[in-house]
Amino acid sequence: MRTQEIQAVRALLAELPDMATLTIEETRALYDQLAANVPLPEHTFTEAKDADGVKAEWLKLDEVSGDTVIFYLHGGGYILGSPDSHRHMVAAICQAASASALIVDYRLAPENPFPAAVNDAVTAYKWLLEQGTAPERIVIAGDSAGGGLTIATLVSLQEEGIALPAAAVCISPWVDLTNSAESYTTKVASDPMLTKERLDLMAQAYLQGQMPSIPLASPVFADLTGLPPLLIQVGTEEVLFDDAKNLEARAREANLDVTLQVWDEMIHVWHYFFPVLTDAREAIARIGEFIKAKAGEKAMQPQSA
């Protein structure tokens, strides 16, 4: 079943236009439209927000009565993505976690190079705290570039002395913009979405001449000491496979509470395809369990003696 489902997803991806032939505006529109026909859970409510000058979107489900908030940073190589492209996946994570979400619509490159995305994420997080949301009820999460931005945001918040969230989730994170890990070569034949060449172009658009090893651009090089519990999920068929493994190693060096979950046969951010992919639904369920344990209902229960 797993192999049949992921092969169907691969076939779907193979039918998409070659992004190398599209303008950046066309690519952004295509990316946003990919999930346009995926229905949201019944009684899902969304509202555009101005988070102290940063665009964002509240996403709430009527079935959720708790006050846990997922602070979500979408993927897209820092040049693509928006609440439109990720709303369906974030809604599914909210449903699994019994949480609401604030999806940050951070500024994109090349119009807004590094560190615009980091600055926007930090600003939006501070705004969320100003709305009265307790940091221990927040989980920061992101996929791909948003996974790297998740760690960079935590590092920046800690440097500023801002209260950190209860936990963090990184889905297929891109945390090393030097793009030099072994899997960039060994996994290229199995990854239908990313290549080293494509990631190099995205990194160049984001960095615009700045060093890729800057810790807030490539947080695998940052000091992770003191960051909250971290869940990392990655598929075995990803070019970014080693990014996830190296992030886990750096987190362990910093004595963090870190869990790496590796999913056989899965591709980059397979969660995106949860309507047709059992492994995606299971991975989202694992994220929901993690969030509940760290910031949700379970975290609110008194501990037995």
Query: Active-site residues: which are they?
Result: 144, 238, 268
| CA 59/CA 187 separation, integer angstroms | 35
Q: How much is the pTM?
A: 0.96
Contacts 24+ apart (CB under 8 A), 37-46: 38/88, 38/275, 39/88, 40/87, 40/88, 40/91, 41/91, 41/92, 41/95, 44/91, 46/83, 46/87
pLDDT at 1: 77
What DSSP character marks residue 255?
A: T
Token representation of residue 178: 């030097």
Give the other-Cβ count within 10 Å of 27's Cβ.
18
Residues 238-269: b if buried by 16+ CB within 10 A, e if exposed: bbbbbbbbbbbebbeeeebebebeebeebbbb
Instruction: Evaluate whether 143 touches 75 at the Cβ level (below 8 Å).
Output: yes
Give the other-Cβ count within 10 Å of 4's Cβ.
7
Instruction: Evaluate whether 235 touches 270 at the Cβ level (below 8 Å).
Output: yes
| Helices 24-33 + 83-97 axis angle, to 10 | 30
pLDDT at 301: 52
pLDDT tens-digit series, residues 62-77: 988 889 999 999 999 9
Map out the domains of the chain as residue ranges: 2-299
Distance separating the N- and C-terminal Cα atoms of the chain: 44
Give the other-Cβ count within 10 Å of 163's Cβ.
13
pLDDT at 37: 83
Q: Of 84, 165, 168, 152, nearest to 120 (Cα)?
A: 152
Cis preceding-peptide flag for 219 (omega within 30 of 0): no
pLDDT at 63: 87
CATH number for domain 2-299, candidates 3.40.50.1820, 3.30.2020.30, 3.40.50.300, 3.40.190.10: 3.40.50.1820
> How long is the chain?
305
| CA 24/CA 3 separation, integer angstroms | 33
| CA 8/CA 52 separation, integer angstroms | 42
Task: Identify the segments of the chain with pLDDT beneath 50.
Answer: 303-305
pLDDT tens-digit series, residues 3-43: 999 999 999 999 999 888 899 999 999 999 988 889 999 89
